[in-house]
Amino acid sequence: MCGIVGLFLKDKSLEPKLGEMLTSMLITMTDRGPDSAGIAIYSGESKGRTKMTVQSDDPENAFDGLDKALGKAIGGTVKMSVKSTHAILDIPEGTTSAARAALEEMNCGLRVMSCGDSLEIFKEVGLPKDVAARFDISSMSGSHGIGHTRMATESAVTTMGAHPFNTGDDQCLVHNGSLSNHNSLRRRLRREGIHIETENDTEVGAAYLTWQMQNGATLGEALESSLNDLDGFFTFVVGTKDGFGVVRDPIACKPAVMAETDQYVAFGSEYRALVDLPGIEDARVWEPEPATVYFWSHNDAPTSTEKAA
Amino acid sequence: MQTIDLTEVGLRETNQTLHAQADNTNQTEWEIVNPRGSHAIACGLNAPIEVTVKGSTGYYCAGMNQQATVNIQGSAGPGTGENIMSGKIVIEGDASQYLGATGHGGLIVVKGNASSRCGISMKGVNIVVQGNIGHMSAFMGQSGNLVVCGDAGDALGDSCYEAQFFVQGSVKSLGADCERKEMRDEHLTLLQGLLDEAGIDADPNNFTRYGSARTLYNFDVDNAGAY
């Protein structure tokens, strides 16, 4: 099954409550998937800086002195804030590739969960309520975010198999469904030089989008072409720096409900996830159409590229 | 009127209370408040009672219904009225996918739109939708009538048997072995009766009837390559 929630705030006064609202929505979806849970939050950016969220199974040792060591390796200031098994590394703009390479060199078992100016991803094995508590998601503020609770079908229950998946800077993907051509597609993408870590089907979906965008497609175009190239069932919710998008496969057997008011756009695998949102009684509530790409953006005057994304 | 607060009473006790009503019960009117999109509300009823759900429901509301009238004052989740045997379900908002799947009898009315697979494998149920319906509706429909006052999505009536479909608006595409049919007097009378029963004001003359071309009933060796 799996459960997905998403919340895109139009009303800035709700931003301090984003984490709390998303957490409550995700916990409601627990019985759609108790294996692992994750949340991607767009918590805002600071000028000249960018972020990496990293995870370790041995956070005490791995994060000890990591900021200084990484700062030395990339030749800049690194600020680190540790949350349980995850650490958010605040690094100078434009040093993401160097930081990635330096972390690999250090060989300290760190896994990169996300990169981007605004995006932070937190995910672990366990129930949504435990995962959310571990990272204190409820206290987080932000402009938009998506969450996922997993019932594993195609690969093992691990941190790396948990959603959301980072597909590119400030982009992430969650998935309800199962892809049936992920093995052949993984081989194809690896030949194209795309790094794919696990046997997970959604990671292949995420890598596919990354590959398409590396070849010049906008996120919107990449999602459109996923309708042709991905075989299987999917409801995808994608996060971008400015907003989020939704696409369902043409069969659309994986459920999806959306609600929109003047204050927010919300996504839930079921209506249950939305019932505590403010003003839901008067919200426009509908099911997204199959094989149709939807997007909401904070960017009022997008460039043509951003618009298509 | 008996009122049940679902958040206080819980699903199982609510349904057991409704199940406990006998054919000749005096408590014929029930109201369920705070449904909050819960699953399986008012499932398996078998008494001539009226249940009003004050809000939107989740999966399988009023499934397997017999005799009872269930009114959902909101939108309904997937599989609402699945395998309905008799009675009536009225949804004031929209209905999600596979509404009334495998239903044997009774009537389901949707005031809004119904999603994909509406009336899939219907076996005698009548479904009247005031708005539009999604793709693959009435797939393998065997008996009963599906009335759509708006438009129908892709592959309407794919592989259908003797169910028939009346659509006022457009049909995006017909499924395999489903074809347009002549609207005769008996069909106009039947359709008028269904619209009246659903409380929907529409002119039967504006509808088109669709049904099975009956070419898939038996295995034809010429079709072997298609499997």
For residues B36 and B17, is the Cβ–Cβ distance under 8 A? no
In a domain, B8, yes or no: no
In a domain, B84, yes or no: yes
Q: What ipTM did this prediction achieve?
A: 0.92
Contact state of A270 with B56 under an 8 Å Cβ cutoff: no
Across-strand partners of A145?
A7, A41
What is the CATH classification number for the domain harbouring B101? Answer: 2.160.20.60
Tokens 């499997």 found at: B227
In a domain, B174, yes or no: yes
> How crowded is residue A162: how many other Cβ atoms within 10 Å of its Cβ?
28
Across-strand partners of B71?
B52, B90
Taken in order of first residue, the domains within chain A and their CATH numbers are 3-44+124-308 (3.60.20.10), 46-117 (3.30.70.420)
> In which residue ranges of chain B is pLDDT below 50?
none
Tokens 């999602």 found at: A223
Q: Locate A30 and state its tokens.
A: 């627990």
Domain count of the fold of chain B: 1
Across-strand partners of B32?
B4, B53
In a domain, B11, yes or no: no
Tokens 């438009």 found at: B151
Segments of chain B assigned E as strands: 2-5, 29-33, 50-54, 69-72, 88-91, 107-110, 123-129, 143-148, 164-167, 178-181, 208-212
CA nearest to A271 within chain B? B37
Contact state of B116 with A271 under an 8 Å Cβ cutoff: no
For residues A97 and A50, is the Cβ–Cβ distance under 8 A? no
Check residue A64 and give its pLDDT. 95
Mutate to test the interface with A, among B41, B61, B113, B115 (most CBs of A within 10 A): B115
In a domain, B4, yes or no: no
In a domain, B225, yes or no: no
Domain span including residue B115:
37-48+56-215
- The DSSP annotation for A209-221 comes to HHHHHHTT--HHH
Check residue A302 and give its pLDDT. 54
Check residue B227 and give its pLDDT. 65
Number of residue pairs across A and B with CB atoms under 8 Å?
41
Query: Which of chain A's residues have a Cβ under 8 Å away from the Cβ of B36?
Result: 272, 275
Q: Locate A285 and state its tokens.
A: 């509530």
In a domain, B13, yes or no: no
- Annotation marks residue A115 as catalytic: no
- Reduced to 3 states (helix: H, G, I; strand: E, B; else coil), residue A42 is strand
Residue A110 CA, distance from chain mean position: 18
Largest CA distance in chain A: 54
How do residues A120-162 score in pLDDT, each as one tens digit?
A: 999 999 999 999 999 999 999 999 999 999 999 888 999 999 9
> In which residue ranges of chain A is pLDDT below 70?
300-309
In a domain, B104, yes or no: yes
- Reduced to 3 states (helix: H, G, I; strand: E, B; else coil), residue A103 is helix
